Amino acid sequence: MLNNKVIVVTGGNGLIGKSFVSNISKHGGIAIVADFDHKGQIFSKSVNNSDFFKIDITDTVSVKKCIEYVFNKYGKIDALVNSAYPKNKNFGRSFFDVEYDDLCENINLNLGGYFLTTQIFCKFFKKQGFGNIVNLSSIYGLISPKFEIYENTKMTVAVEYSMIKSALIHFTKYTAKFLKNSNIRINCISPGGIFDNQNELFLKNYNLKCLNKGMLSPDDISGSLIFLLSENSKYINGQNIVVDDGFTL
């Protein structure tokens, strides 16, 4: 389905990123694990048609070097998948405990990093004559948190998370329209909750809000990614695909 498309996946060594990389490979693509963690190199060696580049998505030189490396080796870059999730050590505190400096740093790391990679890759895509970007947002970029499902647990929804993810959806629309007539598509995926050994009470409460399966696995998201990367979606642009088993209804 992907026919040797060369696809850079930022955060490719993460929980969702690994699934993205594996499924790109399974569907005939060449996946570049672009990650800050050197362990991504070990992971990439376990996946057919996969490569690794150590990237800092908040550093202009690093992003440009990633493009240079991939283009020099493969002769093209078909797509960028923005699924990195950089954050500082204080990310995820309860609303009243969030320090202003931490808020600004996390927005800069995550949303700023998505801006930087998108901007630099789009400049390259314009020169190349084609390109495709898929951003990873969240259901909490669409709706306010269902705080009741976190009751009696130590979990919460980070305010930075909701701010960043909602902004990513609009950023997707903005860039897609800005790049009109450039043969570059930009879309977004907003997943529901992804299973990661969360608190059992939380999982029970979360699943009650869904329609069938409940908490999803990374592979449940990957089908939408493969679709957006393929020619089957060539006229889908500036859209946000929600994969949440009905949680947002």
Cβ distance 199 to 154 under 8 Å? yes
Cβ distance 27 to 232 under 8 Å? no
E strand residue ranges, 11-124: 30-35, 50-54, 79-82
CA distances from 142 to 67, 163, 249 (A): 31, 10, 11
Catalytic option among 85, 114, 140, 161? 161
Q: What is the spatial distance between Cα 57 and Cα 85, in angstroms, rounded to a whole number? A: 10
Cβ distance 98 to 29 under 8 Å? no
Spatial CB neighbours of 101, under 8 Å, sequence gap ≥ 6: none
In the structure encoding, which two tokens stand for residue 22, read together?
A: 């594996």
Q: What is the spatial distance between Cα 33 and Cα 16, in angstroms, rounded to a whole number? A: 12
Is 161 annotated in the active site? Answer: yes
Supply the residues annotated as catalytic.
161
